């Protein structure tokens, strides 16, 4: 993967430090990277306005992107990588294309178009459109590429006697808490030791959200944390756990980052995403699919060891493979997007 002396304009929303890891790896591969946060601000108020009524914020967004145009004038980029695409205005994309006619423009989404319909307006501006959502790839003729794991999670072996039987670390949203509490009840019955870490970026915002979201009404605030864990901290918790639980958003079928991090850590996975059985790395010995509507845990799943994933398959799940896919060669065939079993 040769990116030496290639100039890349990289725009991404802030998402738990993954954008920094991507930028760091691109630079290690020899690229000259100019990075800008896709949002003018990461404050809770700004994020809320952008999500609910971005028109109220449009003047600030426009000023921000005019500033980026000024800062990047005359750079002659080889690539433009956009991840998320929640706020980027069309005038910016048009101006970038005019200034950099030979640049390859790449868009990647780790959200579904049903949640962010703006994506449909962005696709025509890009040479390569990628999504982690199988349904979007099929419906809109996009390249399909699942997410990845960072090398912090890649360990050869765990502890002989892990402290936790099940670990869950994730943002507090949708029905995660309701499912987590049901799993906790099963843990009590099966004498399993759970570890739950529900994260929210701010107490006030969560309290307001709790008023309007029926899934959060029962949330015990004592079980909520406002500290964002570092990847090194999460990796250490996984290392000290037998299995990791993943609860995807009900309206998304694309696999979460947690899926890849858990398996790279050599940990068994419990997930509410039934589509996982169509991926190349699926092994029923390693992965237990949870039915949201009829949850159940089987003691036998915790009595057998993790089945080691083939090195070639694990490599395809890595950040380097993800970058190679976006910049050089798509992997639609490998990831099986033409498999009609995908919903």
pLDDT for position 177: 87
Specify whether 108 is located in the same domain as 67.
Answer: yes
Statement: residue 157 has pLDDT above 70:
no
Domain containing 309: what range? 151-316
Residue 340 lies in a domain: no
- Both 271 and 288 in a single domain? yes
Return the CATH number at 236: 3.40.50
pLDDT above 80 for 57: no
Assess whether 284 and 240 both reside in one domain. yes
Give Cα 81 distance to the centre of its chain. 16
Q: Read off the pLDDT of residues 163-175 as tens digits, 9 standing for 90 and up.
A: 999 999 998 887 8
Q: What is the 3-state secondary structure (H, E, C) of the chain?
A: CCCCCCEEEEEECCCCCHHHHHHHHHHHCCCEEEEEECCCCCCHHHHHHHHHHHHHHHHHHHHHHHHHHHHCCCCCCCEEEEECCCCCCHHHHHHHHHHCCCCEEEEEECCCCCCCCCHHHHHHHCCEEEECCHHHHHHHCCEECCCCECHHHCCCCCCCCCCEEEEEEEECCCCHHHHHHHHHHHHHHHCCCEEEEEECCCHHHHHHHHHHCHHHCCCCHHHEECCCCCHHHHHHHHHCEEEEEECCCCCCCCCCHHHHHHHHCCCEEEECCHHHHHCCCCCCCCEEECCCCCCCCCHHHHCCCCCCCCHHHHHHCEHHHHHHHHHCCCCHHHHCCCCCCCC
pLDDT one-digit tens code per residue, 313-339: 999 999 999 999 999 999 999 998 776
Q: Supply the mean pLDDT for the chain.
A: 90
pLDDT surpassing 80 at residue 301? yes
Rounded CA separation 187/241 (Å): 14
Task: Tell me: do 158 and 72 sit in the same domain.
Answer: no
Q: Using an 8 Å Cβ cutoff, are 230 and 119 in contact?
A: no
Q: Are residues 158 and 301 in the same domain?
A: yes
Q: Closest Cα to residue 2, out of 27, 28, 29, 21? A: 29
pLDDT attached to residue 210: 73
Nearest to 325, CA basis, from 152, 137, 156: 137
* Alpha-carbon gap, residue 34 to 69, rounded angstroms: 12
For residue 196, what pLDDT is reported?
94
For residue 6, count other CB atoms closer than 10 A to its CB. 17
Identify whether residues 137 and 63 lie together within a single domain.
yes
Task: Report how far residue 58's alpha carbon sits from residue 55's, in angstroms, rounded to the nearest whole number.
Answer: 5
Q: Domain count for the chain, please give it.
A: 2
Domain harbouring 68, CATH code: 3.40.50.2300
128 and 232 inside one domain: no
- My answer on whether 172 and 308 are in the same domain is yes
| Polymer length in residues for the chain | 343
Q: Do residue 122 and residue 239 come from a single domain?
A: no
Q: Specify the pLDDT at position 186.
A: 94
Q: Residues 142, 144, 145, CA angle at the centre, nearest 5°?
A: 140
Same domain, residue pair 173 and 297: yes
| Residue 343: inside a domain | no
Higher pLDDT, 40 or 103: 103
Nearest by Cα to 247 from 182, 193, 311, 202: 182
φ, ψ dihedrals at 206, nearest 5°? -70, -40
Residue 70 included in any domain: yes
Task: Based on the fold, state whether residues 90 and 219 are members of the same structural domain.
Answer: no
Q: What is the pLDDT of residue 188?
A: 94
**Does some domain include residue 342?**
no
> Bigger pLDDT: 41 or 163?
163
The band of 222, judged by pLDDT with boundaries at 50, 70 and 90, is confident
Please give the backbone phi and psi of residue 87, each rounded to the nearest 5 degrees, phi first: -120, -20
Mean pLDDT value across residues 86-110: 97
Q: Tokens 């696709």 identify what position?
A: 123
Region 234-259 average pLDDT: 94
């Amino acid at each position: 993967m040769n990116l030496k002396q290639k100039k890349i304009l990289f725009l991404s929303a802030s998402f738990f430090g993954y954008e920094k890891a991507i930028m760091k790896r691109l630079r290690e591969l020899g690229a000259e990277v100019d990075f800008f946060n896709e949002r003018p601000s990461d404050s809770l108020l700004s994020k809320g306005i952008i999500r609910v009524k971005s028109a109220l914020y449009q003047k600030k967004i426009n000023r921000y992107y005019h500033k980026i145009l000024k800062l990047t004038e005359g750079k002659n980029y080889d690539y433009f990588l956009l991840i998320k695409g929640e706020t980027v205005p069309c005038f910016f994309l048009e101006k970038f294309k005019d200034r950099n006619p030979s640049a390859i423009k790449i868009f990647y989404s780790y959200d579904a178009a049903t949640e962010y319909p703006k994506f449909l307006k962005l696709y025509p501006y890009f040479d390569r459109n990628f999504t982690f959502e199988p349904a979007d790839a099929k419906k809109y003729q996009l390249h399909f590429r699942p997410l990845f794991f960072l090398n912090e999670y890649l360990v050869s072996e765990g502890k002989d006697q892990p402290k936790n039987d099940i670990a869950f670390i994730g943002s507090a949203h949708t029905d995660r808490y309701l499912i987590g509490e049901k799993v906790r009840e099963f843990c009590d019955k099966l004498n399993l030791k759970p570890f739950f870490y529900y994260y929210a970026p701010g107490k006030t915002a969560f309290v307001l959200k709790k008023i309007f979201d029926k899934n959060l009404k029962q949330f015990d605030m004592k079980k909520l944390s406002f500290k964002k864990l570092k990847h090194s901290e999460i990796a250490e918790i996984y290392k000290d756990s037998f299995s990791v639980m993943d609860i995807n958003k009900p309206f998304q079928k694309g696999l979460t980052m947690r899926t890849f991090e858990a398996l790279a850590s050599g940990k068994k996975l419990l997930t509410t995403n039934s589509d996982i059985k169509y991926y190349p790395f699926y092994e029923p010995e390693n992965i237990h699919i949870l039915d949201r509507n009829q949850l159940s845990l089987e003691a036998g799943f915790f009595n057998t060891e993790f089945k080691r994933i083939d090195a070639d398959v694990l490599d395809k799940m890595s950040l380097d493979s993800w970058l190679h896919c976006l910049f050089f060669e798509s992997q639609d065939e490998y990831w099986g997007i033409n498999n009609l079993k995908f919903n």
